[in-house]
């Protein structure tokens, strides 16, 4: 860790509790949940889906939080901004982060009565390499500018922000302000995880392109993001764009240089949940240690494989 910094990495993300179940294909068709995709539900209908499945695993999740857990596991000093409800799932989330030594950097609860966000991950045996996701955002997007105003953004080496918060239906202004406040004070990384359409969010996309030092997503997410960014938009100097491609490895671009990291193939895939998050968490861990890009990609690929071989999305 840079001695002038208090944290290697801090993250701002949506705090979900992930519940996993195995269903047949007719079940996802019944609720029109895409195979290898996700669908947002109102909470009453999501609870009905939950009642009709047998949950085999339940644990805290969320893209940024998963990445931070990997960074912390590898030795980084990390902290988290997130929102949870006053409910058992929220309490479980707090306990898990506390056990991992990850401090919560804002008031975790909101003034609303919305519950902790819930994500039901459905595995269909007929489609073993993909998953279907039914979810509700709960209170996970309920950030206020006041959540960040008292935090000195010089303290972290890297600020990681969840891209989904920039397309929020409710509180994206607080996240947009945070992005601009952090510029020049720390490195800014944005994960595009879960956002495949930026058509109605051009201003947010250009803010990210102008301010983020690191942008990471899978092939669909990266291509969707840059398809909406104005061709005349001046991207951040020395910006690194990382595209994860599953078994085809990872591509990264920095200025005019391109990098490729081959995938580290798992011995056995136990779960596909969280591999991309683990990659980014390990990549940022290595970046905070000032390792070269090639080494950062290698460490990220190794962490992704470790998550593929384990149950759940966190190391």
This prediction has a pTM of 0.93
C-alpha torsion 202→275→59→113, nearest 10: 0
Please say whether the structural domain 7-14+63-114+138-308 has been given the CATH code 3.90.1170.30.
no
Contacts of 219 (CB under 8 A, 6+ apart): 243, 244, 245
What would the pLDDT profile of 140-198 be if each residue is shown by its tens digit? 999 999 999 889 999 899 999 999 999 987 778 999 999 999 999 999 999 999 898 99
What is the distance between the alpha carbons of residues 252 and 231, in angstroms, rounded to a whole number? 20
Angle at 288 between CA 284 and CA 290, to 5 degrees: 115
pLDDT tens digits, the chain, 315 residues: what are they?
Answer: 444 568 999 999 999 999 999 999 999 999 999 988 899 999 999 999 999 999 988 999 999 999 999 999 999 999 999 999 999 999 999 999 999 999 999 999 877 789 999 999 998 888 877 789 999 999 999 999 999 988 999 989 999 999 999 998 777 899 999 999 999 999 999 999 989 899 999 999 999 999 999 999 999 999 999 999 977 777 888 899 999 998 899 999 998 899 999 998 876 766 667 889 999 999 999 999 999 999 999 999 999 999 887 766 677
């Amino acid at each position: 860790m840079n001695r002038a910094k208090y944290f290697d990495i801090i993250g701002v993300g949506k705090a979900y509790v992930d519940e996993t179940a195995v269903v047949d294909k007719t079940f996802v068709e019944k609720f029109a949940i895409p195979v290898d995709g996700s669908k947002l539900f109102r909470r009453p209908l999501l609870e009905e889906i939950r009642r009709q499945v047998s949950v085999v695993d339940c644990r805290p999740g969320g893209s940024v939080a998963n990445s931070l857990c990997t960074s912390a596991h590898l030795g980084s000093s990390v902290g988290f901004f997130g929102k949870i409800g006053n409910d058992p799932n929220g309490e479980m989330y707090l306990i898990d982060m506390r056990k991992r030594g990850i401090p919560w950097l804002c008031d975790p609860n909101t003034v609303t009565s919305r519950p902790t966000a819930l994500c039901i991950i459905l595995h269909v045996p007929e489609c073993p390499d993909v998953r279907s996701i039914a979810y509700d955002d709960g209170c996970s997007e309920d950030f206020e500018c006041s959540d960040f105003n008292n935090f000195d953004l010089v303290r972290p080496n890297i600020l990681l922000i969840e891209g989904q918060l920039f397309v929020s239906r409710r509180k994206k202004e607080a996240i947009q302000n945070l992005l601009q406040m952090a510029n020049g004070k720390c490195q800014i990384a944005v994960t595009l995880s879960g956002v495949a359409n930026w058509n109605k969010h051009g201003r947010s996309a250009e803010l990210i392109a102008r301010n983020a030092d690191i942008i990471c997503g899978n092939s669909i997410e990266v291509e969707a993001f840059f398809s909406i960014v104005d061709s005349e938009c001046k991207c951040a100097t020395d910006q690194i764009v990382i595209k994860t491609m599953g078994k085809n490895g990872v591509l990264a671009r920095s200025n005019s240089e391109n990098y490729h990291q081959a995938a580290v193939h798992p011995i056995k895939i136990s779960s596909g949940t969280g591999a991309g998050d683990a990659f980014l968490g390990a990549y940022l861990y290595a970046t905070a240690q000032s390792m070269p890009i090639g080494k950062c990609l290698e460490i990220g690929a190794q962490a992704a494989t470790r998550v593929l071989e384990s149950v759940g999305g966190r190391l």
